[in-house]
């Protein structure tokens, strides 16, 4: 550092003045960017007006080792019977508990390419406890590729005077080794918003959703990593679905309750940027819609160790 200042002393006054201005402006730019990106803009689009009880909750799960896992990206409003019925009607299967028998079965499913539609998912933790419910929807003939979601009941009564659940939905694309621990794990697709769309679309197509709205999740994330070290990116919103009661199917489309204008503008910018960047378009394998028993509604925008066995 002393050599740097000595070099500055040797510069002509004009050159030293230009360098000084450059350093000052650079420092000012960094400070302004930091305040804008990490303080002002998040306050501008953070919103919980439709479910105020979620405002103080974290929006990322944890592995058993305390490593940040899959982010929260979906939510449901309804009691346990409503959730189980809705998922069943949408073609999702409850995951088996992790036991020696189920672990052997999932290995056989992957190695022998045979179906295991209710294969176990490893535990993730939210608010200090493992998931209350877990569901999956197979892709193909083995358990190496599948859609799956974990749910935690977080509020006994939300704004609708019904229980509120938060969930983490991801698509398992292959079996491999955790980048962090070396354990055998499923690797996830990077575009977790697409899996959120698939899940919400399948529930809507089954007539299980009365209304839907957004609340703030982890916020826009371009370079996230889950508990197995897999990359992900997301607009950072959580779509909350108000389920029908007593499994009585809804006729017609679910009501969409609008988000604040700032959030909608942020989402439009995010999707434009995400769609334009080659790393987002080509860096992760895109889910194959024809291979999924789809309730996916094209009109919507688009788990083992580390969050995805």
Per-residue confidence in pLDDT tens, the chain, 309 aa: 555 555 545 555 655 577 777 777 777 766 665 555 555 556 556 889 999 999 999 999 999 899 999 999 999 999 999 999 999 999 998 885 544 443 444 443 444 344 445 455 778 999 999 999 999 898 866 555 789 899 999 999 999 999 999 999 999 875 545 656 656 566 789 999 999 999 999 999 999 999 999 999 999 998 999 888 899 999 999 999 999 999 999 999 999 999 988 888 888 888 888 777 665 545 444 444 334 443 333 333 333 334 454
Q: For residue 248, what are the domain limits?
A: 53-307
Note whether residue 38 is domain-resident: no
How many of the other CB atoms lie within 10 Å of CB of 63?
A: 22
Residue 75 forms part of a structural domain: yes
pTM of the model: 0.73
In a domain, 27, yes or no: no
Tokens of 77: 């409003």
What is the Cβ-side half-sphere exposure of residue 93, based on CA atoms within 13 angstroms?
A: 17
With respect to residue 3, please indicate whether it lies within any of the assigned structural domains.
no
Q: Tell me, what's the pLDDT at 306?
A: 42
Task: Judge contact between 251 and 210, C-beta under 8 A.
Answer: no
Residue 45 lies in a domain: no
Domain membership of residue 47 (yes or no) is: no
The DSSP letter of residue 252 is S
Q: Is the residue at 13 inside a domain? A: no
- Give the pLDDT of residue 241: 98
C-alpha 13: how far from its chain's center?
A: 54
Query: Is 154 within 8 Å of 137 (Cβ atoms)?
Result: no
Number of domains in the chain: 1
Number of alpha helices (DSSP H) and beta strands (DSSP E) in the chain: 8, 15
Residue 211 lies in a domain: yes
Place of tokens 């190496």: 144
């Amino acid at each position: 550092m002393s050599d740097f200042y000595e070099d500055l002393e040797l510069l002509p006054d004009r050159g030293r003045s230009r360098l000084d201005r450059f350093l000052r402006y650079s420092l000012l730019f960094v400070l302004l960017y930091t305040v804008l990106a990490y303080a002002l803009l998040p306050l501008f689009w953070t919103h919980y007006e439709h479910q105020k009880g979620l405002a103080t909750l974290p929006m990322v799960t944890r592995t058993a080792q305390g490593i940040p896992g899959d982010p929260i990206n979906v939510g449901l409003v309804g009691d346990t019977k409503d959730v189980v019925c809705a998922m069943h009607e949408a073609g999702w299967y409850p995951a088996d508990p992790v036991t020696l028998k189920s672990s052997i079965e999932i290995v056989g499913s992957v190695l022998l390419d045979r179906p295991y539609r209710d294969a176990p998912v490893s535990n993730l933790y939210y608010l200090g406890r493992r998931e209350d419910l877990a569901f999956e929807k197979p892709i193909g003939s083995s358990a190496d590729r599948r859609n799956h979601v974990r749910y935690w009941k977080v509020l006994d009564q939300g704004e609708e005077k019904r229980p509120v659940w938060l969930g983490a939905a991801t698509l398992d694309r292959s079996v491999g080794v955790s980048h962090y621990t070396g354990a055998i794990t499923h690797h996830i697709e990077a575009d977790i918003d697409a899996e959120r769309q698939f899940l919400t679309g399948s529930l809507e197509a089954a007539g299980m959703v009365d209304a839907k709205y957004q609340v703030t999740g982890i916020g826009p994330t371009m370079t996230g990593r889950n508990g197995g070290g897999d990359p992900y990116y997301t607009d950072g919103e959580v779509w909350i679905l108000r389920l029908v009661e007593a499994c009585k199917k809804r006729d017609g489309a679910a009501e969409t309750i609008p988000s604040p204008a700032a959030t909608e503008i942020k989402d439009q910018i995010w999707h434009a940027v995400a769609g334009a960047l080659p790393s987002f378009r080509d860096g992760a394998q895109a889910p194959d819609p024809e291979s999924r028993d789809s309730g996916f509604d094209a009109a919507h925008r688009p788990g083992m160790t580390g969050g995805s066995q």
